[in-house]
Structure formats: C-alpha cells, structure tokens
Amino acid sequence: MQCAISPLAEPRGLSIRPKLYAKGRTELSFDYLQVTREFYEDHAEEYARKTAGMFDQEWLDKFASLVRPNGRILDVGCASGRDSGWFVSNGFQVEGIDVSPALIERAKKAVPNATFSVMDLANLQYPPESFDGIWCSCVLLHIPRAEAPSVVASLARILRSSGILYILVKEGKSEGLEQDARYGNATKFSSYFKVDELHEMIEAADLKIRLISDMHEKVDDYRASERIFALAQKPDAQANG
C-alpha cells in the first residue's frame, strides 16, 4: 500500500536505537519532543484545517458509551480541540493537553467550555485517579517505542477505577525521523507498533482490554497508514476488594 509518509533511510548525524521495553529513557541523539513541537508549531493552522472534520466516529461512539456519563475526560495530544469539542457537546467535562502552544491556543478558542494546557504526555501533571476516560488518538506515534510502555502506565495511573483508555497507533515496527509529504516534506519523529505490542503495553499497565482492532487500512488520502485501535478499562477497585 502506498503511504503518504516516507521514512528517511538513515538521517545523517542522527542515530536511533529502537529497543522496545528498554529500561530508562531512549537514547536518541536528538530531542524528539523538540522535533515534534517544531513540526506542529510550524504547521498549526494547516494541521487544524486539514484534520478539522476527521472524526473517527465509530471509536468516539464506542468510547463515549463506556465512559461514565458526564465524566471527566482527558484528551491527550488534543491538537486544535476537534475531539474535545465532540466530548463537550456530548456532556463530558473535558481537559486537553498538547505540546504545541499554537494548537492549544486554537483549542481554547474553538472549545471555550473545556480546559486546555501545554503539557508533555511523558510528564503528566495530574494526581492519580483523575479521569473517567482518556482519549489518546494518534499521539503515541510521537513517543519513542522504548518509552511507550511507561507512558501507557502513567495514563493508567491517572485513570479512575473503571475508567476507559482509548489508544490509536500506527501499525509497524520502526521509529525514526520521517518527511511528511502532506506538509511539504517537513521532518517529524514517528513510532509504529504491532498489535501484540499494544496489547502487551496495556496489560502491563494493569488494564483490561475491552476491544482491540485488527489493522484498519487507508481511510482517505490523509489517513493512509494502517492503524490499530484499542479500548481498555481499569479494573473496578471495589470489585477487587
């Protein structure tokens, strides 16, 4: 299948050591967060415009049906607030976080009834058991593979008992710098995961998988990658004694 994103073979001067489940931080010779922030800061308006109507409606509906009505939802990597807005209009209390200040400014304007903050997913500033639902759509793909399990575990920690976590990743086994043809070949950092890896990360975080999709192929020219979707639930603390 033709992919809109073409990985660079070996970016000169940049070394990447992909090792899933390595202990500690990944050894990248560059600041992946900075690469990500620059990509979205430079393309904030274009990104917001291009993705405005791209709801993964089937998964929004499934997620919303599992989260406690009127519950508190964290939209991780909320970008310009498209999904946050949908959650607000469906009666949820919504907080959104993103590393891009320009996208957070857009989200604040677009969804005044939600709360938005610039925050790194790998350094969450919330106490344990804060949210009834966490929506993490297309964000782990900007986290090094070796760090993804600890990020999923930290999302699980801030979920309340019986809370629901949604994760969407792109399918594959690689990570590295890519040029994105949809944005003038701008460079970004991307990671890909296999379905069994996503499965393992969720279970290692002591969450129960409610649903995990097979690969979904190209939706449209923009969403041309194969994607994997998962819904997981934190066990009910009382039921476990």
Ligand X SMILES: C[S@@+](CC[C@H](N)C(=O)[O-])C[C@H]1O[C@@H](n2cnc3c(N)ncnc32)[C@H](O)[C@@H]1O
Q: How far is the CB of 230 from ligand X (least distance, A)?
A: 14
Closer to ligand X by Cβ: residue 110 or 122: 122
Q: How far is the CB of 46 from ligand X (least distance, A)?
A: 12
Q: How far is the CB of 237 from ligand X (least distance, A)?
A: 28
Q: How far is the CB of 26 from ligand X (least distance, A)?
A: 13
Closer to ligand X by Cβ: residue 44 or 66: 44
Closer to ligand X by Cβ: residue 6 or 10: 6
Rounded distance between C-alpha atoms, residue 178 and residue 160, angstroms: 36
Q: Which residue is nearest to ligand X (CB)?
A: 77
Q: How far is the CB of 149 from ligand X (least distance, A)?
A: 15
Q: How far is the CB of 122 from ligand X (least distance, A)?
A: 5
Kindly compute the dihedral angle of the four CA atoms of residues 32, 126, 131, 149, in this order, to the nearest 10 degrees.
Answer: 40
Closer to ligand X by Cβ: residue 137 or 233: 137
Residues that bind ligand X (CB under 6 A): 33, 36, 40, 51, 77-79, 97-100, 103, 120-122, 137-139, 142
Closer to ligand X by Cβ: residue 30 or 162: 30
Closer to ligand X by Cβ: residue 100 or 233: 100
